[in-house]
Structure 1
């Protein structure tokens, strides 16, 4: 009727079947986006450089990405914190530390984690390239005795600059084994206090049986020798390794530490890294931390393994670290 008062109705938003369907879908999409952002942030936290402590001099990135970035941005450069030949060892750390990379590695991409870590802890740190063309991206593929002679000359240079009678050596893969030739055959027993190997190829590698397969075809061994002499010399049972290990694994007066991973896919079996002798200590990182999944490459970016390096260099101040470590990337 004209003039009648209509009853008041609350203005509800129209909802149809499509709107009802879209609402939970959009909510799920927002949830997935937030989860993706959180995952990306976590990955960046793992791979981007971070500092060991706010007061340290150099950032310490526990990340494979840091080595690649350094090689891309400044190829052939000394790793952060190293090769200051004016550095004088302190009373707390009187032995300079020489870092020795592995086969096909170089000092730039191998030591962007350990070098600043050692420098922050008060060590004089030095690193070299060996076994390749000067300035080349790939190093460590040449004849191992020749590489050991290069290391011997570098150690003498470090000793002359620092005034130290002895050095400590930390090496990865071939770099943890090759210094033994220097120690045993080139007068290094009086110049080296300690040798710490990260996944060293002390007894070579079966490389999942491929090295045995290669010996069945003489032409393949000859081809390998042309491309990478050090690779054939590191095959388990090679003439080089048989001669190196014939007189015993260790030399009196030198302290040996091996740090290995059960997930090593290069030195196989991983126990071929181990040394025997009263002055040798073998450590498996998984025995220190069950969260450590480091493989051969990741050990040099692995905070659990590198804590053990510090322990080996300074046994009076032992500490333990446990953290999630990823294959290849480290952590």
Structure 2
């Protein structure tokens, strides 16, 4: 029995590590062969020791994310009432293939900082049309507004959650109902790594400069009267190029160096930056 458990533990660790290394090989290839001007705040050149350490942290982050994935069953939020608090409700929106449990650590940090109305949501399945997924995000927002009695909410979005939120603000009636949107490694103009996934549904729509994302940017990159803050890293192994995680019309594009895509969810630096921007007037 012990050796079976040990084998399972090894597999659980090795698979996320293999995936992390594979995606960083793609990241390296992309950086070498598709030269792009550095995004705002990006530092160059990268330090080898810091990159190696960041890759290890990313592998550990993906391992933790995978291990906590089943906790969605306990973590999905349907608020029954608002808790007494001076802050607007905060809704956490995950990325492609994820679920609400991806924000376990972020939700804990926000509540420690005094944000009592924090709700993580899930949308499924990830492979369907992004417009349908955005409709699920919109319904979650409407549900939180109705249950809490709040006039507006703030959203923190990881990865594909950012473009879905922008679509919901632009096309699905959320305009004026969202005050701030903070995106973490969101491919607002898509990512070249999506070309490795089957060309169907949201994966195809998240390809770099896809028609869906070009259409989404028409008439303004930051729709719905919301204030946008884009947090990103040049070492994001899912978002290529890094500049696609920024928006020219955003209130701020904040570069946080040496963080992988999943590490953005568990970084104390990211959590501090999110709290500061949620608390700012």
TM score, norm. by length of structure 2: 0.73
> Distance in 2 between the 1:75 and 1:249 partners?
31
CA shift for structure 1 position 83: 4.8
For residue 206 of structure 2, what is the aligned residue in structure 1? 234
- 1:124-143 matches, within 5 Å, as 124-132=117-125, 140-143=126-129
Assess if the C-alpha contact under 8 Å between 1:250 and 1:280 holds in 2: no
For residue 277 of structure 2, what is the aligned residue in structure 1? 312
TM score, norm. by length of structure 1: 0.62
For residue 162 of structure 1, what is the aligned residue in structure 2? 148
Q: What value does the CA root-mean-square deviation take over the aligned residues?
A: 2.4
Assess if the C-alpha contact under 8 Å between 2:92 and 2:120 holds in 1: yes
Which of 142, 151, 164 aligns to 1:178? It is 164
Residue 76 (structure 1) aligned with residue 73 (structure 2): yes
Q: Deviations over 1:28-64 (max 9, x none)?
A: xxxxxxxxxxxxxxxxxx99xxxxxxxxxxxxxx955
CA shift for structure 1 position 75: 4.8
Structure 1 stretches of 5 or more lacking a match?
A: 1-45, 48-61, 133-139, 215-220, 287-292, 317-331
Residue 102 (structure 1) aligned with residue 99 (structure 2): no
Which of 233, 238, 245 aligns to 1:266? It is 238
More helix by share: 2
Residue 87 (structure 1) aligned with residue 82 (structure 2): yes
Assess if the C-alpha contact under 8 Å between 1:89 and 1:96 holds in 2: no
For residue 137 of structure 2, what is the aligned residue in structure 1? 151
CA shift for structure 1 position 66: 4.6
> Distance in 2 between the 1:198 and 1:71 partners?
19
Assess if the C-alpha contact under 8 Å between 2:176 and 2:224 holds in 1: no
For residue 29 of structure 2, what is the aligned residue in structure 1? none
Q: Deviations over 1:146-198 (max 9, x none)?
A: 11111111111101111101100101000122100011111212110000000
CA shift for structure 1 position 122: 2.1
- Structure with the bigger RCO (C-alpha within 8 Å, sep 6+) is 2
Which of 218, 224, 229 aligns to 2:199? It is 224
> Distance in 1 between the 2:66 and 2:223 partners?
36
Assess if the C-alpha contact under 8 Å between 2:100 and 2:122 holds in 1: yes
Which structure has the greater CA radius of gyration? Answer: 1
Q: Deviations over 1:249-282 (max 9, x none)?
A: 11363110000011011110111011012x5210
SS in 1 for 2:199: helix
> Distance in 1 between the 2:246 and 2:104 partners?
26
Which of 110, 117, 120 aligns to 1:118? It is 110
> Distance in 2 between the 1:310 and 1:161 partners?
23
For residue 34 of structure 2, what is the aligned residue in structure 1? none
How many residues were matched structurally? Answer: 223
Which of 249, 255, 263 aligns to 2:227? It is 255
CA shift for structure 1 position 106: 1.0
Which of 245, 249, 256 aligns to 1:285? It is 256
